[in-house]
Structures are given as C-alpha cells and as structure tokens.
Chain A
Amino acid sequence: MAILARLFYWQILQAEKLQKNASDQHVFSMILPARRGEIFTQDGYPLVINTPASFVFAEPKNIENVFQFSQQVGAILNMDSASISGLLTGDAVWAPIQHKVSNEDGEKLRALNLRGLGFEKEAKRYYPEASMAAQTLGFVGSDEHGNDYGYFGLEGFYNRELRGKDGRISIEKDSSGAPILVGNSTRIEPENGSSLYLWIDRSIQHIAEKKLLEGLEKYGAKEGTVTIMDPQTGGILAMASFPSYEPAVFSKYPKELYSNPIVAASFEPGSTFKSLVMAKGIDLGVIGALTTMEETGPVQIASYNIRTWNNVYNGTVTMTDVLTHSSNVGMVFVQQKIGTEKFLQFLRDSGLGDTTGVDLEDEARYELRDDAEWKEIDLATASFGQGIAVTPLQMVRAVGAIANGGYLVTPQMVKEIRSSDGKKSIRMAKTKKSQIFSKKTTEIVKEMMVTAVDEGEAKWAKPKGYRIAGKTGTAQIPVSGHYDETKTIASFIGFAPADNPRFVMLVTLREPSSSQWGSETAAPLFFSIAKDVFLYLGIPPQ
C-alpha cells in the first residue's frame, strides 16, 4: 500500500515537476533569432544592412584580476573601467558588458585571451552610406527586454515587417551535449524580416544632401531641408535635412535630431503658398490669369496695413504679375474673391491640418484652428502663407497637385517589401488620390509659375533651356507671439520639366545670413540641385 502511495505521488502528483527537472538536464533549448530585414534604394543599393558583431559578457568568478580586466576591456570598448568593475562585483555568475561590438574590436578582445571574458555572435546594423538619409531611415535600439527595436523613420514605421519572427529549437542531448534526433525535439525556423525597397534614388539623395550642405555653408543658414517627390506616384525620390546624425552611433547625438523635420516640423510657407491660393481662385472661376486689380498701395485689413515685400506698387496688374512679383496685396485681393468659407475649405482640401499619410513614424499633425477663430486678418495673411503652419512634405504634396493635373497624392517612401527568401514581394498599393484642382486650372497655374521663374526675382539662377515652374518664399519666423524681421525661412518650391514634371522639389533654409530672401538663397540652391538631377535623369534642355 505504501509503495502504491509513493508511486502515485511520483507518477501523478510530482509528474510535471519531475519531467521539467529531467528535461532541463537533457533538453537543450535556444532561441533562433530572426535576421532583421534590410533597406535598399530603388536602384538596389543598400542603405541599411546587417553585419556580424559580438555581444561581450563576463563571468566574474573566472576573472583573475578584476582591475586589470576592466582596464584592458574598457580601453578597447571605449568604456570607463570603473563602470566595468562595477558590473563584476557581487555574486553574479554572468554580467553583460556591451552589445553590438564590432568585429574589429571583438578580434582585439579575443586576442587578449582573458579568462572570464565571453562572446556571443549577434548582428548589428551597418550603414554603407554613413549618415545618408539618416532621419528618414531612423535607427535600431533596444526595447524593454533588450531586443532590437526600430525607432523613428522607416525603422520605426516598418519595425514589425523588418524584425521578422524568432524561431526556437528544443532538442534532447546526450551526456556530452550532442543533440539526439529521437524523443521530443522541436525546431521552429525563424522567419527573417522582410527587406524594404524605397522610392529613394541613391544618386538623387546624394545630390540633394551634397548641395544642401554646400548651400548651408554658402548662405550661412542654420538648418535646411530638400524634399523631392515624383508628383505622379507620390514616391519620395530624396529627403535631405541638416543638421542630422549618424544612425550607427545615434546615442552620441542629441535626441532633438532624431525626428525628421520634413514630416515632423512645421514652418510658415510664405509666398510659396501663393501659387496654391491662386490655383483655388482660378478653379472657382473668381479670377483668371489675366484678371486685373489695382495695386496702388498697402491694403488695410482691420487695424493692419498689408504691404508688398519691397513696398513698391505697380498700379494695374494681372494675376500673373501678382504671382511673378509675389504681391501680398494681390493675394489679399484673390482671397477676398474666394470668400471665407471656400478659402477655409480649400485649406482643408489641400491637406493642411492633417497628416499626409506618408509611411514614416514621426509624421506630426498640425491642426488648423476652428473656422470660428479665423479673423479677417488671419485669412488675409494666410493668402500669402503667413500665420499657417505646414510641414515641408505637406507643401510638396499640395504643389504636386499643380504638377500632376490636380490630384493630391499620398507620399510614399517604400515601393516594395520583399520577403527574406525573395519569394514573396508586396508592391505597395498605388497612392490614394483626391482631385483638388481641375486639369485646366493646373495648366494655367503652371504657366503662371513658369513666368514667375522666368521673370521673377530668381531668374538669374535658372538653368538655361529648361522650363521650370516655381515660386520663391520668404517667411518671417514667429518668436514669442510676434515676427522677428531679422529671422526668416527662405524657400523655393517648384517642379520640372514644367510640361512633363518628373519631380517636385522644395528647398527650405532657416535663417540664412547672406541674404534673408528666398530668391537669393533657396532659389539658386533649388536650381543647382535641379541642374544635376536633369543630368542624372537624362532630361535635355528644351
């Protein structure tokens, strides 16, 4: 009876625990980590790939001399030896020292042949083009469990697709630790992460970054962005912004640099917004390219006087003249013709107050104020792009509608997602489109913008032989509730070739010191980039 009772105890009551104890002794389990997907440009060049690295750890009980150990390891890993010593105190049998140690440093550490120093292989991100498109790519850090996790940009937005799914192996082993292919063994293969193929073109991105850096230096600007989009598909061909950071060593840079100002920061578009307001006026039929107005002096709205940028008034002017000479007074005339309700509806239809839907994690949403809060002066200043906040991408998207026949497209970063085995390929759905201008309107505004380039303030910088539609902008920067006249954001937005636009581009320069005007800073930079892009795309002069 006692034997039966004991057997019942071991076989039934303690069965689960004993099975676990036994399996711990003879079953070998480990996680098979999934490889993180890589990121390529549309022409197939890698922007982010994986490279072998090591996870370096210590077994304190096996270390002979903690002080010497910490000194030697710290010198190679660029770590404070005191912090390494701190990890090695106490009863810990195992202490992590550093993840993602490069192969080069790993070899140096191995050569030391230190007792108590261990290595485990792991992968780390490698950026062959260094900091190219850093704020667009984002970076890989760790989550709360110490696993790789994508933050910001594409790494953040597509973290789930890129990271894949870890596998698991569980197999019985013999006394020497060798696996036995009998009994309970399971092997679930990891599903490696998918790779992203972007719309970004490596050469166009390089041109944009190189020229932007040169421009920042030449014009003494604090910050700058260049956004280039295919107006037909919404595919982003280049996104450059400075100051930036190196994603491989992101932790060495201030956190403020991590988000992409092209989608996360707003600015007042200034006169670049005029072409959109003009298009709405023409679309509604309240004005035409040859409609005239009397520009005899400043226009008074409530207690404010609105002047032209140079305080010069040209008498009877057409709407084309208004755009060419960037007349604020003329734009107030257009806004008043459009009317309050339709003007506010136009702001919403143009995508202001909402996100563009681009596939980047850090896109911010800047809401428009309620309709009831718009005063007459607000409507007037909004007509020439002051008092409203837009992101550079919102502006590119809206002006893209003039370039593509009136359609507001959803900008896209990723063109295709390919599974790791290359068998499955998901081409991203075609961009959603909503028509905000008629085709006829866009043709008229396009010609007005071509004239604005050919006869406007920036005509001296335009590449000869090309028809480029564009508009300069110089917006004052609001500081503590008022505009600082000495600080401006200079910009130029346009598309080319005007008759069959291959790209729409926006250049912004914050606080240029050589000149505050967009026509003397952002515009020549735009044309300089456009000239190289024409050559690269093989677009001859007309």
Chain B
Amino acid sequence: MKYLRFLTVITGGLTVFLVIVHTIQSCSLVEIGKDVQKIDQEIQVLELTSDDLTSKIASASSLTTITFRAKEIGLNVQPKIVTIEGSQLVALNILP
C-alpha cells in the first residue's frame, strides 16, 4: 500500500515536473523561433542591400558611365596610334 502511494506521488511529481520542463522548453523554442524569424528577415534585408549595392557598382562601372565620365573630364580626342616598322630606328637600337 505504502509502495503504491509512493509510486502515485512520484508519478504525479514527475508528471508535474515534465509539464513544467515542457512548458519552459516550449517557451524557449518559441523564443528561438522568433530569433530564427528575425535572422531570416535580416538575411533577406542583407541580400537586398547586397543586390542594391551590386547594381550600383555595376552601373558605376558600366562602359556607358565610364564613357560619360571620360568625356566630362575632357578625354574627347582618341589618340592617334603610331606604329614603328622594323626598319626604323628606335632608342634601344642605337645603343652599342
């Protein structure tokens, strides 16, 4: 009889203990869930920022922009390319 009562108390106590543990764990998981959601949102924001910056860099380094900037700073005239034929003397050839 004593043994049965002991078993009932222990089982009851254990049940209450497990309910409390489960409740605490659930609460903690909800908190973690919120954290995960927050991290997901932050990742999304970072990805969008990264995309935005990538677009800006690509735009700034596009040939259209470079051409426009070059003209703005006065690089309007294409330099004439001078080619030296084999028979012509150049500085290196006159050295002994």
Contact = CB atoms under 8 A, between A and B. Distances in A.
Interface string A176-202: 001111100000000000000000001
B10 interface: no
Interface residues of A, number: 29
A46 interface: yes
A51 B36 CA distance: 25
Contact of B51 (A52, A171, A179, A203): A52
Given A52-B51, A465-B83, A465-B85, A128 B58 contact: yes
B33 A179 contact: yes
A50 B55 CA distance: 7
Nearest to A103: B52
A80 interface: no
B37 A128 contact: no
A182 B61 contact: no
Contact of A535 (B48, B54, B81): B81
Interface stretch (B1-9, B12-20, B24-32, B87-95): B24-32
A181 B29 CA distance: 6
Of the four ranges (under 10, 10 to 19, 20 to 34, 35 or more), the interface on chain B belongs to 20 to 34
A46 B58 contact: yes
B83 A129 contact: no
B61 A45 contact: yes
Interface in A117-140: 121, 123, 126, 128-130, 132
B49 to A, nearest CB: 8
A181 B32 contact: yes
B52 A51 contact: yes
B76 interface: no
A541 B83 contact: yes
Contacts of A481: none
A129 B26 contact: no
Interface in B18-73: 26, 29-30, 32-34, 36-37, 44, 48, 51-52, 54-55, 58-59, 61-64
A130 B54 CA distance: 15
A49 interface: yes
Nearest to A171: B33
A86 interface: no
A535 B58 CA distance: 25
Nearest to B65: A128
A422 interface: no
A252 to B, nearest CB: 19
A179 B48 contact: no
Contact of B55 (A45, A49, A535): A49
A206 interface: yes
A479 B22 CA distance: 85
A540 interface: yes
Nearest to B83: A541
Nearest to A532: B78
A171 B30 CA distance: 12
12 contacts: A46-B54, A128-B55, A128-B59, A129-B64, A130-B62, A171-B33, A174-B30, A174-B33, A180-B30, A181-B32, A203-B63, A464-B83
Given A49-B51, A52-B48, A103-B52, 18 more contacts: A45-B61, A52-B51, A121-B44, A128-B58, A128-B62, A129-B63, A130-B62, A130-B64, A171-B33, A174-B30, A178-B34, A178-B37, A181-B33, A182-B29, A202-B63, A203-B63, A465-B83, A465-B85
Interface of B: 26, 29-30, 32-34, 36-37, 44, 48, 51-52, 54-55, 58-59, 61-64, 81, 83, 85
